[in-house]
Structure 1
Amino acid sequence: MSAGMLPVLAVMLPVLGMVLALPLGARGAERLTLALAPLGLAVAVAIAVVVYGGSAPIRHELGHWAPPLGLAFRVDGLSAAMMVTAAVVIGATALFARGQFGTAAGEAETRRAFAFWPLLLAIWGATNLALAANDLFTFYVALELLTFAAMPMVALDGKRETLEAALRYLMFALLGSVLYLLGVALMYGAAGTLDVVVLASRAGGTYPVLLAAALMTAGLLAKTALLPLHLWLPPAHAGAPAAASAVLSALVVKGSFVILLRLWFGVLPGIPGPMAAQILAGLGAAAILLGSVAALAQERLKLLVAYSTVAQIGYLFLMFPLIASMPGTETAAKAWTGGVVQAVAHAFAKAAMFLTVGLMAARLGHDRIRDIAGAGRALPVPMITFGLAGLTLMGVPPSGGFAAKWLLLAAAIEAGQWWWALVILCGGLLTGGYVYRVLSVGLRAGEATAPTRSADGQGIALVLAIVSVLLGFLPLGAFGLVQIGRLDLGP
């Protein structure tokens, strides 16, 4: 098999698994998902090895028709790194979810279990499609698949509040889809193609192109849950199963973010202008500060972690003005690497944190922060996991979050935009505040010693948290993978 088929295989494995899982029932779907997880990880690692070893993106023309007449997959270093991240998070989530959605031999199958496994595979396939696609309409297809797979996972328990949260999520997602699709139509009318590489040479700074870029950006921000378009995310997390929250925070919002990077630095390099990039980063800074303050005020663990996601997403947008103001420089390379490492480290840390909170809620029977005193004694591994994931979110060395935030901070100083460095430092302090709040209560002596369920899966969450920390030990040369194939440096 040629290397060009690897991206196709990365997309088709989970999609075919989703289709095959439907007639197999809950038990068969579970086994199929667990069998596909290591295969998908092997494919993702192979893609990363090929991209890194060849120092060039993998490109495959579907049906051997070249754009603009045909469609092509293009996997660069950013896509390869995110595909490996997605494979690990999906595999870990699948193992963890066996405790809640598994069906033992002789046990009656449930609708929730039957729905969960195909939806998990659908999210995986849609994420890989968003990472491998190279045209604006296929991005749209990937976004819709992500939405219509993630939304039902939010409402799996069927309660009224979770159904309301899922409908709110759907309304924001559909708004984002309409705006994005309008932008795609305008872009096609202006340039006559939707292929990212071809558009990079055809799209100019005309009014239709700028309007299309604004519409698509607004739509993608709604799906990424950047403040003030974040209102759907905390309620969606509040009642969703732990496994659903893990993939929603770690992967689903990252799919639309990667597409936004493709739009700004692939289709329109330099066209939106420094001021537009400053506005995006300003929204990111507001998300960091206000999201962290909101997390500090929460009384429930799941809502605290959900607002933490709102805050951590903000860091991803600090890279935009640093790249736009100094394109092609070492400073821009630092900002790009810092943003991507932040996305990867956040994915592992937040997946670990949501799984841990789910464990604690199941064990204690609630997730009220004020009532978790004694959890450190009753649940030592989950408390350690929460602390390790918190180190990454805070950016404490030597975690992956520290590497990401240090690169962004250094790039901000080098670019003369010191105000973003202040935001990064303040955000780290606020993150430390809400992480310390949970740990200080949990490690206090108390009565949280009577379990209502077992704490199965705590080792899986711990491994994810450890990975988020170990990312900080990688030499910066290893992060060179994410620089390969950057379209703002040329096709």
Structure 2
Amino acid sequence: MLPPAPMSATTAGGFLLVLSIVLPVAGVLLAFALGDRYVRLVAFTIMPLGLAIAAALVLALPRGGGHLVYLLGAWPPPLGVALHADGLSAVMIAATAVVIPAVAVYAAPEFRPAAAARAPAAFWMLLLAIWGALNAIFVGGDLFTLYVALELLTFATVPLVSLDGRAETLQAALRYLLFALLGSVLYLAGTALLYGLYGALDIVLLSRRADAQLGTLIAAALMTTGLLAKTALFPLHLWLPPAHAGAPAAASAILSGLVVKGSLFIVIRLWFDVMRGLPGFAAAHVLGALGATAIIFGSVVALRQERLKLLIAYSTLAQIGYLFLMFPLAFDVSGDLKRGGALAGGVLQAISHATAKAAMFMAAGSIYAGLGHDRITGLNGVARAQPLSVLTFALGGVALMGVPPSGASLAKDLLLQAAAETEQWWWTILLQAGGVLTAAYVVLVLAHALAPPDKPIALRGAVPRICDLAALVLALCSLLLGLMPWASYLPIPQGGMSNPLGIDALSKLLLPVLGGTVLAILLSPWPHPLALNAVERMIAPLRRACLGFGRLVEAVDDVLRQWPAASMSLLLVALLLGTLMFAGA
């Protein structure tokens, strides 16, 4: 957690916070100065150094009393700007430092320097810029610094989505940019309100000064809504599926695994630090309800996708919803917001999603490169032709289901424990359903990949082994995250970490897989090898009803991804959050 009072001096090891931002930015400038020919070399020189800085920060944090501070210009807040790092910052910086080099290794064969192409040079500079912007978000100590870092993240991500220059990808990038800018306007308006009320934007100072007056509640509602738009929480997911549809696999891995975590991290800072004493109980349940809807909505639409990449994109929408269940669960029975197991579970789920989803997008990219398409019904036999890619997808999916010893399993246990302690049993149902719904689209893809092909598969080109290995490493990281000593950095309650290799691990795998198989049969409209003809005839009426429900959900999704509906949803979410906070006060 952040220090209880503003620090008057830089702490030992505080310079690591500056290095974590300066190093990627210096890499961008150096690559620009040296030219396209050396840009990839610069990136691969910077990345081991960035990983070393992240490791040093993780090791230095316990010795610094759980927080590190660096005062820019030696001026303490509110006159100066401070960089802060606590356990949440450390684990997010470490996760970013693992995912970005893995994606870089995967992307290296595709984005080789070429005399006639600017996309490779742009990719490597944008990748470093995203890394620097994310680190600035994770260590930013005041709300305006976070705004600047968030905008840098947006402007680095937009061109990454449209690297190929095709009309549809440019349209998707512009859609992302415009909606993200709407979110930025709301966030900046809230920041200006807080500065006018309290004369400070430092998070620690605001946590001590902010009270439940009308201006503060309006600012909190505006800032939260703006950040939800950038995170693509349902129903504010206008930009997410189109951005993934045509982006390179490496760009999708970064966008889904890391970029949406930047705005999520600021939401966590806003609620658990600045707004900790404000009346947010009812508003937090709205966030939880939106998250629960996203889990069901995203999973159903994912099961109806014809393309593997779009299936994973809608899976991201569902998993983002899973992250927001931490907010209502963080309130205890007396209505006070606590930095306990719910917060730890939400952050662990975010890290697990970052590694697993990046690996799944990379695996999908390898399958597309090998087959020349990613149609799910055309994947029959790909497990034999591209075993490492399919294994990576499977391990990433199993990790997201919450099977021990994955990080998602530990996160789920912490959230379930929080639900029991706060007597909010209804969230338990959603937490358990989340694993089953995740298993449904993972089982659907694997059923096709493992089925015998109708005709021999002729790969369009050989996928470099290093690409598959980079993706596999990330999937294994997600699957083994539950074995890490998280209690040193996250507020995990006593007894919150169960044995990740216990006897219940088998049941945590079998039950979601069995339930997911049933859902895949009922909700997927495409012919698949999961059901025998006799079984299909028996469940035909139920399947027709489920398919009708799926068509309805997909039609709602088509409406919500239109500008009028998305803009109205943005306004309604802001009004609802502000009204509930005001009523609570």
TM bin, normalised by shorter chain, reads: over 0.9
Greater CA drift, 34-43 or 44-53:
44-53
> Are 1:27 and 1:102, in contact at CA under 8 Å, matched by a contact in 2?
no
Shift of 1:379: 0.4
Q: Which residue of 1 aligns with 2:77?
A: 67
> Are 2:277 and 2:337, in contact at CA under 8 Å, matched by a contact in 1?
no
Shift of 1:182: 0.5
Q: How does 1:10-159 map onto structure 2 within 5 Å?
A: 10-103=20-113, 108-159=115-166
Task: Supply the distance in 1 between the matched residues of 2:334 and 2:101 (Cα, whole angstroms).
Answer: 37
Task: Supply the distance in 1 between the matched residues of 2:417 and 2:432 (Cα, whole angstroms).
Answer: 12
Q: Which residue of 2 aligns with 1:488?
A: none
Q: Which whole-Å deviations, capped at 9, do the CAs of 1:361-416 have from their partners, x for residues lacking one?
A: 01100010000101000000111100000011111222221111121112112211
Shift of 1:253: 0.4
In structure 1, runs of 5+ residues without a counterpart are: 485-491
Shift of 1:331: 8.0
> Are 1:48 and 1:80, in contact at CA under 8 Å, matched by a contact in 2?
yes
Tell me which amino acid in the other structure corresponds to 1:454. A
1:455 aligned onto 2:463: yes
TM-score (norm 2): 0.80
Task: Supply the distance in 1 between the matched residues of 2:52 and 2:373 (Cα, whole angstroms).
Answer: 38
Q: Which residue of 2 aligns with 1:465?
A: 475
Q: Which residue of 2 aligns with 1:391?
A: 398
Q: How does 1:319-468 map onto structure 2 within 5 Å?
A: 319-325=326-332, 333-446=340-453, 447=455, 449-456=457-464, 457-468=467-478
> Residues 17, 278 of structure 1: CA spacing in aligned structure 2 closer, same or farther, 3 A cutoff?
same
> Are 2:281 and 2:335, in contact at CA under 8 Å, matched by a contact in 1?
no
Q: Which residue of 1 aligns with 2:221?
A: 214
> Are 1:322 and 1:332, in contact at CA under 8 Å, matched by a contact in 2?
no
> Residues 196, 368 of structure 1: CA spacing in aligned structure 2 closer, same or farther, 3 A cutoff?
same
In structure 2, runs of 5+ residues without a counterpart are: 1-10, 493-585
2:70 counterpart SS class = strand
Cα RMSD (Å): 1.7
> Are 1:373 and 1:445, in contact at CA under 8 Å, matched by a contact in 2?
yes
Tell me which amino acid in the other structure corresponds to 2:366. L
Greater CA drift, 344-353 or 407-416:
407-416
Greater CA drift, 326-335 or 80-89:
326-335
Q: Which residue of 2 aligns with 1:318?
A: 325
Task: Supply the distance in 2 between the matched residues of 1:401 and 1:297 (Cα, whole angstroms).
Answer: 25
1:481 aligned onto 2:483: no
Runs of 4+ in 1 over 4 A off after TM superposition: 326-332
Shift of 1:273: 2.0
> Are 1:86 and 1:251, in contact at CA under 8 Å, matched by a contact in 2?
yes
Tell me which amino acid in the other structure corresponds to 2:94. V
Shift of 1:164: 1.0
> Residues 272, 171 of structure 1: CA spacing in aligned structure 2 closer, same or farther, 3 A cutoff?
farther
> Are 2:332 and 2:338, in contact at CA under 8 Å, matched by a contact in 1?
no
Greater CA drift, 447-456 or 262-271:
447-456
2:69 counterpart SS class = strand
Q: Which residue of 2 aligns with 1:487?
A: none
- Decide which structure has the larger Cα Rg and report it: 2
Task: Supply the distance in 1 between the matched residues of 2:165 and 2:449 (Cα, whole angstroms).
Answer: 30
Task: Supply the distance in 2 between the matched residues of 1:28 and 1:428 (Cα, whole angstroms).
Answer: 44
Task: Supply the distance in 2 between the matched residues of 1:479 and 1:385 (Cα, whole angstroms).
Answer: 28
1:299 counterpart SS class = coil
Task: Supply the distance in 1 between the matched residues of 2:350 and 2:195 (Cα, whole angstroms).
Answer: 30
2:115 counterpart SS class = coil
1:60 counterpart SS class = strand
Give the total of aligned pairs. 479
Q: Which whole-Å deviations, capped at 9, do the CAs of 1:329-348 have from their partners, x for residues lacking one?
A: 99851111111110111100
> Are 2:12 and 2:68, in contact at CA under 8 Å, matched by a contact in 1?
no
> Residues 299, 350 of structure 1: CA spacing in aligned structure 2 closer, same or farther, 3 A cutoff?
same
> Are 1:362 and 1:453, in contact at CA under 8 Å, matched by a contact in 2?
yes
Task: Supply the distance in 1 between the matched residues of 2:16 and 2:348 (Cα, whole angstroms).
Answer: 23
